[in-house]
């Protein structure tokens, strides 16, 4: 959600910044802009819509200079428009600012600036307040940009990251982070600031993670970071091993399909690092003693969207294997409910980006009440990872498409590993069962390959069904958890109104909606619940709805009552979500493609949701 790129060096900044912005497109945005310090002072170009619009403008009115900042905006305050796009300039045109996040007290600040400093505002944004305030403080600080930024951030409330350049302070970018991601890319005679690593990966491999309430001063020759007390901090750079190709499409039409196909590899990676030579699960050096585990009277799993759906499977696995009660909650609900959390609670946060503000705030709430926080995160060094007591990385690799796919299946693997580890520690599972589930997990990548071979079949189905307007996903037990994820995938990328419900609940109301045009995707992969599910399908069929069933190979009985059946390979009931979600991801993808939608960047959505 919003992307920042800053560059200072000896080459022309324009192309480098625009290239960085393109690498951040996955975060979701509705306008883009750039400011460069030229020999005519600060010059800004910005445009509503895609980065191509900005590029067209730059072809007509290019910018020459070696220091600049750029931004992709996802509108919060003020509609998406050229004028509201970042960067924003101060009234005298001498300060340019890009900003991610929200300034909560911008109305008061705006009134004060207008009344006491005669500032006239030209945008509806909260960000313009920052530019004007820095300009006032710049004057008060005798033209010292870093002190002007320090004084300004003391007055801002909210969560934000900013990047600032000044007309009279050449070759310098000042940035500040409070609860919104920011990294520094270290180069030779050039340095970068960005909201995420892919923006700078083409140019540098050494990254510094900026911590909360730190100020960064970046020149072509050096980078200095200061903490909230104004003391300079030294920090070891991280060396990033993944290449820009890892984050690019590699021959696939969309990132979404590439990432669906990457699941076997991603799962292997997630598993490989966690099983030792004796075939035991290790939790990345996370040490929880049996005594400590037994002291927890409950586990809270908290997350948003797809990550929340992974939590639903996590609940099932942990309760079954470790016999500890688990509550799964949506982060935005948890944090405002005064939840019953104390030092006897283990709190598990799940997040791909590690920057989802609701999840982060829920984590802080739980921590403040004494819970130990374990996070399951994909983005290394992200805020959720940094604020947790323990981190269990999913190792899915960069997930660029807005719709989460490989992050979900690797989150599931992490949940199973945690459940097995806890179960063994508490002695609630036998050694045989432990080894059996581990073997089932190890067989998953190959079985997903088999499901992926069904892509042409699913594509064909999508071609016939893409113009329907109502789709239901139903299932029982673990199948119901996967139904929620299948439904979310379909609605977010194909914009078809879909709805997921536990199959047993249908007859309590929702069955009233069944009619011949309705599609019902019925997951029937749980052997233990197969007969119950079969009866539900019979009931639906009696209302003439079009049933697409997902079942394990061999369960051919279901064919009599379904219009189509997509089979997944035989596996234990416990691990079916890892396989049954794949046809649902493929279905959503092919329906969206058939409809010609913007699959990787669905409307109104952002990859990392850093606002409430």
Binding site for ligand F6R (CB under 6 A): 304-307, 351-353, 356, 359, 403-404, 488, 492, 608-609
Spatial CA neighbour of 214 closest among 197, 193, 200, 199: 193
**2: annotated active-site residue:** yes
For residues 386 and 355, what is the distance between their CA atoms, to the nearest angstrom? 10
Alpha helices per DSSP H over 453-598 = 455-465, 478-494, 530-541, 577-595
Tell me the closest approach of the beta carbon of residue 383 to ligand F6R, in angstroms. Answer: 10
Q: What are phi and psi of 174, to 5 degrees?
A: -115, 130
- Closer CB to ligand F6R, 72 or 90, in the complex: 72
By beta-carbon distance, which residue lies closest to ligand F6R?
A: 305
Peptide bond before 277: cis, by omega within 30 degrees of 0? no
Reading phi first (left if > 0) and then psi (alpha if -120 to 50, else beta), residue 362 is in alpha
Q: Are the C-beta atoms of residues 555 and 561 closer than 8 Å to each other?
A: no
Tell me the closest approach of the beta carbon of residue 372 to ligand F6R, in angstroms. Answer: 20
Q: Which two tokens stand for residue 279?
A: 């075939």
Tell me the closest approach of the beta carbon of residue 402 to ligand F6R, in angstroms. Answer: 6
H/E element, 299: strand 298-303
CA torsion 130→136→139→145, rounded to 10°?
A: -10
Look at the alpha carbons of 407, 18, 147, 108 in this order and tell me if their dihedral is positive or negative: negative
Q: Are the C-beta atoms of residues 268 and 295 closer than 8 Å to each other?
A: no
Tell me the closest approach of the beta carbon of residue 600 to ligand F6R, in angstroms. Answer: 11
Tell me the closest approach of the beta carbon of residue 117 to ligand F6R, in angstroms. Answer: 39
Tell me the closest approach of the beta carbon of residue 608 to ligand F6R, in angstroms. Answer: 6
Tell me the closest approach of the beta carbon of residue 586 to ligand F6R, in angstroms. Answer: 14
Tell me the closest approach of the beta carbon of residue 599 to ligand F6R, in angstroms. Answer: 12
For residues 551 and 580, what is the distance between their CA atoms, to the nearest angstrom? 8
- Closer CB to ligand F6R, 561 or 600, in the complex: 600
- Closer CB to ligand F6R, 333 or 442, in the complex: 333
- Closer CB to ligand F6R, 259 or 440, in the complex: 259
User: Strand order of the sheet with strand 345-351?
Assistant: 326-330, 298-303, 345-351, 372-377, 390-393
- Closer CB to ligand F6R, 26 or 138, in the complex: 26
For residues 577 and 356, what is the distance between their CA atoms, to the nearest angstrom? 24
Q: Which of 47, 137, 552, 607 is catalytic?
A: 607
Q: Which two tokens stand for residue 298?
A: 């409950």
Q: Which of 2, 218, 414, 571 is catalytic?
A: 2
- Closer CB to ligand F6R, 95 or 396, in the complex: 396
**447: annotated active-site residue:** no
**Residue 61 burial (CB count, 10 A):** 9
- Closer CB to ligand F6R, 305 or 314, in the complex: 305
- Helix or strand or coil: residue 47? strand
- Closer CB to ligand F6R, 30 or 361, in the complex: 361
**Contacts for 21 with CB less than 8 Å, ≥ 6 apart:** 3, 5, 32, 34, 51, 54, 70, 71, 72, 199
User: Would you please indicate which residues are annotated as catalytic (active-site) residues?
Assistant: 2, 607
């Amino acid at each position: 959600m919003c992307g920042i790129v800053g560059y200072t060096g000896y080459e022309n900044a324009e192309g480098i910044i625009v290239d960085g912005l393109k690498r951040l497109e996955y975060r979701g945005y509705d306008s883009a802009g750039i400011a460069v310090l030229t020999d005519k002072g600060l010059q800004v170009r910005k445009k509503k819509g895609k980065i191509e619009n900005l590029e067209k403008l730059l072809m007509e009115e290019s910018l020459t200079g070696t220091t600049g900042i750029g931004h992709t905006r996802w509108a919060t305050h003020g509609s998406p428009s050229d004028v509201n796009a970042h960067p924003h300039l101060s009234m005298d045109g001498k300060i340019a600012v890009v900003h991610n996040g929200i300034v909560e007290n911008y109305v008061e600040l705006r009134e004060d600036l207008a009344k006491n400093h005669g500032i006239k505002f030209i945008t509806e944004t909260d960000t313009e307040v920052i530019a004007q305030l820095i300009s006032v403080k710049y004057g008060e600080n005798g033209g010292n940009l870093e002190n002007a930024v320090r004084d300004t951030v003391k007055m801002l409330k909210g969560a934000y990251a900013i990047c600032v350049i000044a007309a009279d302070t050449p070759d310098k970018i000042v940035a500040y982070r409070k609860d919104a991601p920011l990294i520094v890319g270290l180069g030779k005679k050039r340095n970068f600031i960005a909201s995420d690593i892919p923006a700078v990966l083409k140019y540098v491999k050494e990254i510094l993670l900026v911590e909360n309430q730190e100020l960064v001063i970046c020149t072509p020759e050096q980078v200095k970071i200061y903490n909230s007390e104004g003391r300079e901090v030294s920090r070891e750079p991280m060396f990033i091993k993944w290449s820009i190709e890892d984050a690019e499409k590699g021959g696939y039409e969309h990132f979404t399909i590439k990432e669906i196909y990457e699941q076997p590899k991603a799962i292997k990676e997630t598993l490989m690092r966690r099983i030792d030579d004796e075939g035991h699960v290790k939790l990345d050096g996370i040490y929880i003693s049996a005594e400590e585990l037994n002291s927890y009277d409950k586990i809270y799993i908290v997350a948003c969207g797809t990550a929340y759906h992974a939590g639903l499977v996590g609940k099932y696995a942990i309760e079954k294997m470790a016999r500890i009660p688990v509550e799964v909650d949506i982060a935005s609900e948890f944090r405002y409910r005064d939840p019953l959390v104390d030092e006897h609670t283990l709190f598990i946060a799940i997040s791909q980006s590690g920057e989802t503000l609701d999840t982060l705030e829920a984590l802080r709430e739980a921590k403040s009440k004494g819970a130990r926080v374990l996070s399951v995160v994909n983005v290394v060094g992200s805020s959720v990872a940094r604020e947790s007591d323990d981190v269990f990385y999913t190792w899915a690799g960069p997930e660029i498409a807005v719709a989460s796919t490989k992050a979900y299946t690797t989150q599931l693997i992490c949940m199973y590993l945690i459940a097995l580890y806890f179960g063994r520690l508490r002695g609630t599972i036998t050694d045989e069962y432990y080894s059996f589930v581990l073997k089932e997990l190890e067989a998953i990548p190959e079985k997903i390959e088999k499901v992926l071979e069904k892509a042409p079949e699913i594509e064909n189905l999508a071609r016939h069904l893409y113009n329907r307007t109502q789709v239901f996903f139903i299932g029982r037990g673990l199948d119901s958890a996967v139904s929620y994820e299948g439904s979310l995938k379909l609605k977010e990328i194909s914009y078809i109104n879909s709805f997921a419900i536990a199959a047993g609940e249908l007859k309590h109301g929702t069955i009233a909606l069944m009619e011949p045009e309705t599609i019902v995707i019925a997951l029937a992969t749980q052997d233990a619940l197969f007969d119950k599910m079969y009866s539900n399908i019979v009931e639906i069929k009696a209302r003439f709805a079009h049933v697409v069933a997902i079942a394990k190979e061999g369960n051919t009985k279901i064919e009599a009552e379904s219009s189509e059946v997509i089979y997944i390979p035989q596996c234990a009931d416990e691990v079916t979500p890892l396989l049954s979600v794949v046809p649902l991801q493929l279905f959503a993808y092919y329906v969206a493609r058939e409809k010609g939608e913007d699959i990787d960047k669905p409307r109104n959505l952002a990859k990392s949701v850093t606002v409430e």
